[in-house]
Amino acid sequence: ALLGARFNRDCTVLALGGGVVGDMAGFAAASFQRGVDFVQVPTTLLSQVDSSVGGKTGINHPLGKNMIGAFKQPHVVMADMAQLDTLPDRELSAGLAEIIKYALLGDIEFLSWLEMHMPRLVARDAVLLAEAVYRSCLHKAKIVAADEHEHGDRALLNLGHTFGHAIESYLGYGEWLHGEAVAAGMVMAADLSHRMGWLSHADVERVRRILQQANLPVTCPDIPVEKFLALMAQDKKVLAGQLRLILLKQLGQAVITRDVEIEQIKQTILACQQQQNQEQLR
């Protein structure tokens, strides 16, 4: 479209929309004439707190999520909070998943704040939502500034994502919203962290409870275990043939680890699926 309209290198691509629009527009801006200016105007809660900040752009492929893309920093990100007034409830909850992620990976005080205010956040309290967006962006910007191209600690931002991406890939992109898949993935990461001896059962229940308060899924779809593992193995966080998982040493402290036995991952997948079956029986 840019070529057809005879745009040139001095144009600016403006992304007005959610995470998918921002990712596609950013990838186009990164690729067109080897890079043109780019501005993000995120209109969903998830894109305001996560995908619009940090410079990752990309498109999905049937073999994996966001496998084709580029790093492209926007010149500015403008989050207009009034846009959230028109957001469907399900989309709002998907954004809350990423906000909860920031608390789990690096800010236990923020987690307590979210637990206290979650009913009002779900009810779209404008002041509280603005505070949550601001604090989330601060968390992400700090991590990205230290590791823009994800050679190290930026991978911590993918808490719950390796499990979540497998769910999205299996079900087909769009069947579950990204935040919904991440929510289930964070429960699975917490469960696996418990099996590693890091989190208590009460910690896992605390993670599950706050996600439920945000009206997010906390169980896993019925995906064959071997297929689930194969989809996880296609994740971008696989390095030198080894699967790197983001787990929790404690609530508020995430770590990148490769020292997880496949059998433990299988147990986590099966446990999450059994929880799904039990809830369906109720």
Q: Could you read off the pLDDT of 189-215 as tens digits, one per residue?
A: 999 999 999 999 999 999 999 999 999
From the list 165, 113, 101, the residue with the least C-alpha distance to 139 is 101
CA distances 135 to 106, 107, 129, 220, Å, are 12, 10, 10, 29
Instruction: Give the span between the Cα atoms of 36 and 60, in whole angstroms.
Output: 22
Strand partners, 271: none
Tokens of 99: 């906000």
Positive or negative: CA dihedral 102, 104, 109, 112 = positive
Q: What are phi and psi of 136, to 5 degrees?
A: -65, -45
Q: How far apart are CA 147 and CA 118, in angstroms?
A: 31
Question: Residue 136 has what pLDDT?
Answer: 95
Residue of 40, 124, 121, 127 whose CA lies nearest to 84: 124
- pLDDT of 67 over the 70 cut: yes
pLDDT of res. 281? 57
Instruction: Kindly report the pTM of this predicted structure.
Output: 0.88
pLDDT on residue 65: 73
> Would you please indicate which residues are annotated as catalytic (active-site) residues?
34, 56, 98, 140, 150, 154, 158, 161, 165, 178
- Copy the structure tokens of residue 118: 């979650």
